[in-house]
Amino acid sequence: MTGAGILAIKESMTEALSRRLKQERFDTPAQEALLSVIVAANALNDLMDRLCEKHRITRAQYNVLRILRGAHPYGHARCEIACRMMDRASDVTRLVDRLQARRLVKRFRGSEDQREVVTCITAKGLKLLGAMQPQIDAETSSILGRLSDDDCRELSRLCALIFGTEGVEAQPATV
């Protein structure tokens, strides 16, 4: 790709964010990248909120069900669900309480440690996720379908550079 082609792509990225934020310029490429990631994440979160709302659950409740589907039929303890949540600030106990009230999950005592409570997804919870999945796939593919498979892998790689440091103390940059 020529220098002019790369410049045109860079300008179109800046233009999209500039239009969205009604801001003509950004102080640094890092500021633009940060704002781009935040705006994109908010758009995807809004989409998931709308899809979840149609099924009378929250995005956090959907996340719990998705985690428990991955552990089906065994389930997870509350602390394991909490560490797998996309939003770590969620109150897992209350989320599970609400899901249990709708019979989407069930709880039982751990077999080895009776103090441990394990939560499992129910058939009704699996059915709900099954009903939601085609809608989620259609909506997300309409957005992410704009990206090639290579673009998606690169986006995942770049995001991992950002969130892959969670729990790791920041180190000073060396030159």
What pLDDT score does 25 carry?
Answer: 78
Instruction: Name the residue range of residue 133's domain.
Output: 18-140
What pLDDT score does 166 carry?
Answer: 61
pLDDT per residue, tens digit, the chain (175 aa), is: 455 544 444 455 577 777 778 787 778 888 888 888 999 999 999 999 999 999 999 999 999 999 999 999 999 999 899 999 988 766 899 999 999 999 999 998 866 666 789 999 999 999 999 999 999 999 999 888 889 999 999 999 998 988 886 655 545 544 3
Contact 72, 123 (CB under 8 A): no
* 99 falls within a domain: yes
What are the start-end ranges of the E strands in the chain?
76-77, 105-109, 117-121
What pLDDT score does 8 carry?
Answer: 47
* 169 falls within a domain: no
* 100 falls within a domain: yes
What pLDDT score does 53 carry?
Answer: 96
* 118 falls within a domain: yes
What pLDDT score does 113 carry?
Answer: 66
| CA distances in angstroms from 58 to 18, 29, 62, listed in the order given | 31, 34, 6
DSSP 3-state of 33: helix
Give the total number of structural domains in the chain.
1
CATH number at residue 44: 1.10.10.10
Paired tokens of 8:
């045109």
What pLDDT score does 148 carry?
Answer: 92
What pLDDT score does 114 carry?
Answer: 64
What pLDDT score does 19 carry?
Answer: 79
* 149 falls within a domain: no
* 98 falls within a domain: yes
What pLDDT score does 80 carry?
Answer: 92
Dist. CA 18–CA 118, nearest whole Å:
47
What pLDDT score does 6 carry?
Answer: 44
* 57 falls within a domain: yes
pTM for the full predicted model: 0.79
* 9 falls within a domain: no
